[in-house]
Amino acid sequence: MSPVDRTDFRRVAGRFASGIVVVSTSMGGIGHAMTVTAFTSVSLDPLLVLFCAEKIARFHDAVLAAGTWAVSVLNEDSEKIARWLATRGRPLEGQLDAFRHHPGPLTGAPVLDDALAAMECRTTAVHDGGDHSIVVGEVLAVSEPRPASAPLLYYASGYARLSGG
C-alpha cells in the first residue's frame, strides 16, 4: 500500500465543512487568539469540548500555560477576524485591538462581542495528535451574544456561508 499524498489528503479532508471559532486566552494581561476549524463538543457529562492547536504556533504554548481559554463561534460577517487570526507572524501584542471583545467573566480570556456563541473553558487534558495537540476542556460558562446570526463556515480551503433557509 502506498502512502497517501499530503496534498490529496488536505483536499479530501477539506470537503468536510466546518464552523469557525476563535480560541483565545490571556496571559499577563495580553490576549492571545487563533482561528480554529478543528473544534467539537465531546461530552455532556461532564461538559467537555476540544480543539486542535498546531504545536509550532505561538498560541499553542500560551494556551497550555494559561490553562483557561474561551471559544467564540464566528458569525458570517467575521471573515476578516478569521483571516487575521489565522495569519502567521502577526504581532503578538494587540492582535485583538481591531475587534470588539471583552474579558470572559470566569477566565479573563477574550470573548468576541459579535460571536454567535461563546464558551469559557478550563483545560482538563492534552493529547498528542502528531503535529498538533488535542486540547480538551471543561466548559465553565456559555453565552450567546448574537444567536440570530448565521455562522461562518470553512469548506474546500475557503470561507463559505449558508444559503437558503
pLDDT in tens, 42-92: 999 999 999 999 999 999 999 999 999 999 999 999 999 999 999 998 888
Q: Tell me whether residue 16 is in a domain.
A: no
Q: Tell me whether residue 3 is in a domain.
A: no
Q: Tell me whether residue 122 is in a domain.
A: yes
CA 59 to chain centre: 11
pLDDT greater than 90 at residue 147? no
Q: Tell me whether residue 12 is in a domain.
A: no
Which region, left, alpha or beta, applies to residue 29 given φ > 0 means left and ψ of -120 to 50 means alpha? left
pLDDT value of residue 164: 57
Domain containing residue 31: CATH number: 2.30.110.10
Render 23-46 in DSSP notation, one character per residue: EEEEETTEEEEEEES-EEEEEETT
Q: Tell me whether residue 11 is in a domain.
A: no
CA geometry: angle 155, 134, 6, nearest 5 deg:
50
Angstrom distance (rounded) from CA 28 to CA 31: 8
Q: Tell me whether residue 90 is in a domain.
A: yes
Other beta carbons within 10 angstroms of residue 143's beta carbon come to: 15
Q: Tell me whether residue 6 is in a domain.
A: no
State the chain's maximal CA–CA distance in angstroms. Answer: 52
Read off the pTM.
0.93
Domain of 131?
21-161
Strand 30-36 relative to strand 132-143, pairing: unpaired
The number of domains in the chain is 1
pLDDT greater than 90 at residue 34? yes
Q: Tell me whether residue 5 is in a domain.
A: no
